[in-house]
A and B are shown apart, each in its own frame.
Chain A
Amino acid sequence: MAETELAEDKALAWTVKVWRGDAAGGGFAEYAVPARANQTVLDIVTHIQRELDPSLAYRFACRVGMCGSCAMEVNGRARWTCRTHASKVVTEGGTLELRPLANLPVIRDLATDMAPFFDKWAKAGGRFQPKDAKDGEVPADFAVVPPASKKRQEADAGIECIGCGVCYASCDIVAWNPDYLGPAALNRAWTLVNDVRDGARRGRLDAVAGDAGCHSCHSTQSCTERCPKNLDPSSAIAGLKRSIFWRFLEPGGDR
């Protein structure tokens, strides 16, 4: 009951500027939403779409921080909106600005085309290639990788990526170099490089080397700072650089 009263009190409404448009361009539309204490940014977007303007396009699925589909720019910073409390990001004046994720083509309103992002995972050799089985085959037996082993822990460090694209949207190099594979794809590659069951290390290290790959990263750590899963793509990329450097020094390694 108290919440509805709040909602009706104009003085306690927030002003949300939402970018509306498509690939051809667009601009901001303003909506007044109730200033509820316990709501996420995604709740606000859903409120706008259900109550104020059904034509608003946005994307979500799980609402609990697992699927990685709800990321947007909230007040100029990429975030997972389903796990972002609105009260924590709203300005003192009670405003929010929502834009589609940066560094990706816009489909409509708050929905971006994630295809270039995931294409780069494929380019970075992001597919697990079992050592003891041919292309795509299921290995005959389970591989035992002791959880306490160093390699296992290194692989585990980056495994929880939900593919939300927050890091990708926060990286200057992605903005400056359209070919740059980006933090998430490189983090995935590093996870597989550390996977003792994987047999495609050499090809993968080749795929992530050079100007489009790990060597363009400036280690500025925006990706690490903003990853909602607290992963550390910046360190993963440093690991790739190290592995490629040492491979050069191995006899016959530079092939």
Chain B
Amino acid sequence: MRGQVHLWAAQRVTAALLAVAVLVHLVTILLAVRGGLTAGEIIGRLSGSETWLLFYAVFALSAGLHAAIGLRNVGAEWLGLRGRRADLAWLGVGLLTALFGIRAAWGLYAA
């Protein structure tokens, strides 16, 4: 029961983080594409910047967990997928999604 309440709280907290992260992300895109977008420019902004690495890591983790908790609900309500095994599978989905994002952010940081 308590774990389920934690999941609910985690989804609210990640939603709040995502609201900020998506806004920063969009504003960055709007500013970055002015005058054209080049790979060099992107790497120039992100390479070696701990701030951006941290930002994208938190962003990716929030997105992964938020989506997985939501999918867990959809799976339980529409497909009847419930129980420990389903929960572990959704945790895997969430972490994997987050990992893809974090790997990409790391790649740009290290570039």
Task: Point out the residues of chain B lying under 8 angstroms from A56, CB to CB.
Answer: none
The reply to whether A211 and B2 form a contact with Cβ atoms under 8 Å apart is: no
Shortest distance from the beta carbon of A120 to any chain B beta carbon, whole Å: 16
Task: Point out the residues of chain B lying under 8 angstroms from A215, CB to CB.
Answer: 4-5, 8
What is the interface of chain B mostly: helix, strand, loop, or mixed? Answer: helix
Task: Point out the residues of chain B lying under 8 angstroms from A173, CB to CB.
Answer: 77
A176, A177, A210: the one within 8 Å of B5 (CB): A210
Interface size on A, residues (CB 8 A): 15
B8, B9, B78: the one within 8 Å of A176 (CB): B78
Query: How far is it, in angstroms, between the C-alpha of A248 and the C-alpha of B8 when the chains are bound?
Result: 12
Shortest distance from the beta carbon of A254 to any chain B beta carbon, whole Å: 7
Task: Point out the residues of chain B lying under 8 angstroms from A206, CB to CB.
Answer: 1
Task: Point out the residues of chain A lying under 8 angstroms from B73, CB to CB.
Answer: 216
Shortest distance from the beta carbon of B48 to any chain A beta carbon, whole Å: 38
Task: Point out the residues of chain A lying under 8 angstroms from B78, CB to CB.
Answer: 176
B9, B76, B82: the one within 8 Å of A248 (CB): B9
Interface presence of A226 (CB below 8 A): no
The reply to whether B1 and A210 form a contact with Cβ atoms under 8 Å apart is: yes
Interface centre among A210, A216, A244, A248 (most CB of B within 10 A): A210
Shortest distance from the beta carbon of A171 to any chain B beta carbon, whole Å: 12
The reply to whether B76 and A209 form a contact with Cβ atoms under 8 Å apart is: no
Query: How far is it, in angstroms, between the C-alpha of A245 and the C-alpha of B10 when the chains are bound?
Result: 11
B8, B76, B82: the one within 8 Å of A241 (CB): B8
What is the interface of chain A mostly: helix, strand, loop, or mixed? Answer: helix
Task: Point out the residues of chain B lying under 8 angstroms from A176, CB to CB.
Answer: 76-78
Shortest distance from the beta carbon of A212 to any chain B beta carbon, whole Å: 8
Query: How far is it, in angstroms, between the C-alpha of A210 and the C-alpha of B4 when the chains are bound?
Result: 5
Interface centre among A209, A210, A211, A216 (most CB of B within 10 A): A211
| B interface footprint on A232-255 (CB within 8 Å = 1, 0 otherwise) | 000000000100110010000010
The reply to whether B2 and A209 form a contact with Cβ atoms under 8 Å apart is: yes
Closest to B77 in A: A176
Task: Point out the residues of chain A lying under 8 angstroms from B1, CB to CB.
Answer: 206, 209-210, 213
B:1-55 near A, CB below 8 Å? 1-2, 4-5, 8-9, 12
Closest to A177 in B: B77
B5, B76, B77, B82: the one within 8 Å of A244 (CB): B5
The reply to whether A245 and B2 form a contact with Cβ atoms under 8 Å apart is: no
The reply to whether B2 and A254 form a contact with Cβ atoms under 8 Å apart is: yes
Query: How far is it, in angstroms, between the C-alpha of A65 and the C-alpha of B8 when the chains are bound?
Result: 37
Shortest distance from the beta carbon of B90 to any chain A beta carbon, whole Å: 13
Closest to B78 in A: A176
Query: When A245-B9, A248-B9 are in contact, do A209 and B77 touch as well, CB less than 8 Å?
Result: no
Which A residues lie at the B interface, using CB under 8 A? 173, 176-177, 206, 209-211, 213, 215-216, 241, 244-245, 248, 254
Which B residues lie at the A interface, using CB under 8 A? 1-2, 4-5, 8-9, 12, 73, 76-78, 82
27 CB contacts below 8 A, A to B, read A173-B77, A176-B76, A176-B77, A176-B78, A177-B76, A177-B77, A206-B1, A209-B1, A209-B2, A209-B4, A209-B5, A210-B1, A210-B2, A210-B4, A211-B76, A211-B82, A213-B1, A215-B4, A215-B5, A215-B8, A216-B73, A241-B8, A244-B5, A245-B9, A248-B5, A248-B9, A254-B2
